[in-house]
Amino acid sequence: TKYQWQPWQQLQIQLEYQLEYSENEDSWLNQGDLLLNWPITEQLSMTLRTQYGAETGGDKDTIFFTQASLNWNFF
């Protein structure tokens, strides 16, 4: 599932969730992803993304990361 909204003119938010079953590993994956995008000027924007996921059952992987970037468009 994915939900996207813009609470303010300068902030875009996107939230994703994934539920997946793997028969080979006999496990369930629960994973969420949050993406924030803030256009500061026409050329400059800031992006923040964080993701967390955990598997239960036969496989027990855990995923977590956060990524931040400053983007400059030349054209």
- Res 48: pLDDT: 97
- pLDDT tens for each residue of 18-64: 999 989 888 999 999 999 999 999 899 999 999 999 999 888 889 99
- Res 25: pLDDT: 85
The whole-angstrom separation of Cα 52 and Cα 56 is: 14
- Res 60: pLDDT: 86
Strands of the chain, DSSP E: 2-8, 11-22, 27-39, 44-57, 62-72
The whole-angstrom separation of Cα 57 and Cα 59 is: 6
Check whether 16 has a pLDDT greater than 90. Answer: yes
- The helix/strand/coil state of 73 is coil
- Res 58: pLDDT: 82
- Res 75: pLDDT: 78
Residue 20 neighbours by CB under 8 Å, 6+ apart: 28, 29, 31
